[in-house]
Structure 1
Amino acid sequence: MSQNADMECFRIDESGYTGFDLLNPDQRFQGASAIAIRDEDAALLIKEHFPRLQTPELKYRSLSRRPGNHQPLLALQRDLLTHYKSVSYVCDKRFLLVLMFVDYAVEPFYYERGIDFYENGQNYAMASLLTMAGPTILGQAAFDALLAQFQHAAKAKTPEALTALVAAARATRWRELPEALGPLAQYAAPECLSAIATPGVNTDAALVVLQSLINRMEVMAESAYRVEHDQSKNLLTYHDLLQRFIDHDQEIEFHQTEIASLKFPLKLAEVTQVDSKTSPAVQLADVMIGAAIEAATSLTGLRSGGLDPEAVMSLYADNQFIHLIPSIDFEEQRRFRQGTQASELIDYFAVNFSGPRKS
């Protein structure tokens, strides 16, 4: 039980977590939702929209399979998004992996030559280009193999894995995109290989997801707040990261985009695990992220069925939904990320929130 029961509480839940493997074809998207609602209010909403519910726990995946539940699910989410503070974050894991490739297998090469590769979101522009055009330009099979080898090298960190990564880069048609693949394929740039081999550098997306949720919760919370989440195995990584954020007391602030910044120490003061069966509020967080992930999957044509994705997305205000997907509107990306401190933030997180937790 929380020691600060009167403190504002955001309940969170995740979906699509596959650890270091961002290429899992069955789970293209990963995300999480946070909603500030009391268990008592959550229970009343569940009873109002699902008065005949027989199961002890509201689970989005089970409910969405039945067409008769679609309208109540939409109505429930409309109530939540209209009356309660909330945010949902969804990322394309393949794009995130490419973005990580750019961060560690490309950017250090330019940094050594005095070029700020993060200026005005250049890294996002290159990652978007690679994600959307890379298979055609570099060769589908070769590009897939490159991403798989990068993911493996970031986890294994052995000389053999790094050598195999360089070989995978050279096996693509890299001369068609030398700005992106040249550092590895042409130069086997030691600064890039060193970055990938750095302890704590990995392809786990949990930190990226949590950072985005925290950005919004910090804005929505007027004062100190706490977080509750389910006891699932997947959320153990999130729990550890949340505790690190709470424990971090250094005073510092980073500007990320025109609408996002992150300031330490956080207002977030406490994180606790609960049994979702006894927490209607956590069950509603499950509904929120379940619907958001399903909508993303449907809109990209990867799967059909479930709720109408356009109806789901129409419920969200702009500041309630965050997404990380590739975009070839490079001018918009430049404007959105102008003046970003992405480089400093990546370095800061690598030092303070990666690797084994210090006791």
Structure 2
Amino acid sequence: MECFRVDESGYTGFDLLNLEQRFQGAAAIAIDDDQARRLIQEHFPKLQAEELKYRALSRRPANHPRLLALMRDVLTHHKCVTYVCDKRFLLLLMFLDYAVEPYYYVRGCDFYKDGQNYALGSLLYVAGPLLGEAAFEQLLVCFQRAVKEKSPAALTDLVAAARATRWQELPEALGPLAQYAAPECLQAIATSGVTTDAAFVVLQSLISRMEVMADGPYLVEHDQSKNLLTYHDLLLRFINHKDEVTFRQSEIASLTFPLKLQSVTQVDSRTSPAVQLADVMIGAAIEATNTLTGQRAGGLNPHDVMSLYADHQIIHMLPSTDFEGQKRFRQDTQANEVIDYFDKNFSKP
């Protein structure tokens, strides 16, 4: 049976404002260990380390041509997908989901129609600091804390933080909290199972592509790292969900249950060359994104890395002020239904 090997990078749990790790992602490759071992030996015949690790290899410029050639072979000859998200942007989307959308929902407005939430999230990403940079940052800190703690004190602090911004300049996004302290929004934030952990979003996107790429039933193997334990639990819940339903998520993505995915297994990456290749793919993508956005310097040339990918091989969740393009991409999607369905069936009690 076909098996996708998965690895992640940038996971920081509920904290999506971590300055050292602005981006999170994961990669999946349909390749077996024998094929992966041959590729590694071909491109790194003198490798002395116990396992292939992107971070260690990318530090040496002499390894850069070999890493690019290895990635080119993987992308050319194997089914694979890489997902990268801007965690700050994702936190803003979550803010809109829980601190804004419930206000509109009870008033009969479809907040998600044609991706309006993505457009507003992108606008907040760019213009939010103009509402008072320190105050807007504190708002995000308070939102993240309120979702985690769910205490009356944390919710009160969140409303106060919203009111401390120049919210009147963007009342569509900040008014529900700042002007009304909307109880429906505070209740949504305090709901058990609501979290700012990005693992669910990353996995949902990765699975939507694996389901398309797989010819039939398939398996997933991933590393035994502590970070991936969250991914493992979510994958098991996806696998065990047997309802028959399909959701259109964007112009190019949909998700159907039951999944073709049959099982998920944890393996030691030191004994899995295939998982090591997944580490290379996601490591290079995260590093390239950091470099392109000015977060870090060094490593592979990001333009060389990104030029290796076909459009269907990379997914990203990044802010975009091309509002018309976003509307076309997400026209007639079922975002509202997807969120309700996943909250009902996959949120932990």
TM-score, normalised to structure 1, is: 0.97
Of the three residues 2, 5, 11, the one matched with 1:11 is 5
Q: For 1:51 and 1:223, how far apart are their aligned partners in 2?
A: 35
Q: Residue 24 of structure 1 aligns to a residue in which SS?
A: coil
Structure 1 counterpart of 2:201: 208
Letter in 2 for 1:325: L
Q: For 1:173 and 1:352, how far apart are their aligned partners in 2?
A: 38
Q: For 2:288 and 2:40, how far apart are their aligned partners in 1?
A: 21
Letter in 2 for 1:293: I
Q: For 2:74 and 2:158, how far apart are their aligned partners in 1?
A: 46
User: Does residue 1:176 correspond to 2:195, yes or no?
Assistant: no
Of the three residues 207, 220, 232, the one matched with 1:227 is 220
Deviation at 1:30, TM superposition (A): 0.1
User: Does residue 1:150 correspond to 2:143, yes or no?
Assistant: yes
User: Does residue 1:72 correspond to 2:74, yes or no?
Assistant: no
Deviation at 1:38, TM superposition (A): 0.7
Q: For 1:238 and 1:348, how far apart are their aligned partners in 2?
A: 19
Structure 1 counterpart of 2:116: 122
Letter in 1 for 2:276: Q
Show the 5 A alignment for 1:200-349. Answer: 200-349=193-342
Letter in 2 for 1:135: P
TM-score, normalised to structure 2, is: 0.99
Letter in 2 for 1:116: D
Q: For 1:265 and 1:24, how far apart are their aligned partners in 2?
A: 35
Q: Residue 232 of structure 1 aligns to a residue in which SS?
A: coil
Q: For 2:264 and 2:331, how far apart are their aligned partners in 1?
A: 33
Structure 2 counterpart of 1:47: 41
Deviates more, 1:323-332 or 1:346-355: 346-355
Q: Residue 30 of structure 1 aligns to a residue in which SS?
A: strand
Q: Residue 272 of structure 1 aligns to a residue in which SS?
A: strand
Deviation at 1:105, TM superposition (A): 0.5
Deviation at 1:353, TM superposition (A): 1.2
Q: For 2:98 and 2:246, how far apart are their aligned partners in 1?
A: 23
Percent of residue pairs bearing the same amino acid type: 75
Number of aligned residues:
349
Q: Residue 221 of structure 2 aligns to a residue in which SS?
A: strand
Q: For 2:99 and 2:329, how far apart are their aligned partners in 1?
A: 24
Q: For 2:193 and 2:333, how far apart are their aligned partners in 1?
A: 23
Deviations 1:290-322 (A, max 9, x none): 000000000000100000000000000000000
Deviation at 1:33, TM superposition (A): 0.1
- Gap regions ≥5 residues in structure 2: none
Deviation at 1:54, TM superposition (A): 0.3
Q: Residue 6 of structure 2 aligns to a residue in which SS?
A: strand
Deviations 1:97-117 (A, max 9, x none): 000001110111111111101
Show the 5 A alignment for 1:123-138. Answer: 123-136=117-130, 138=131
Deviation at 1:144, TM superposition (A): 0.6
Of the three residues 86, 92, 96, the one matched with 2:86 is 92
Letter in 2 for 1:12: V
Structure 1 counterpart of 2:15: 21
Letter in 2 for 1:39: D
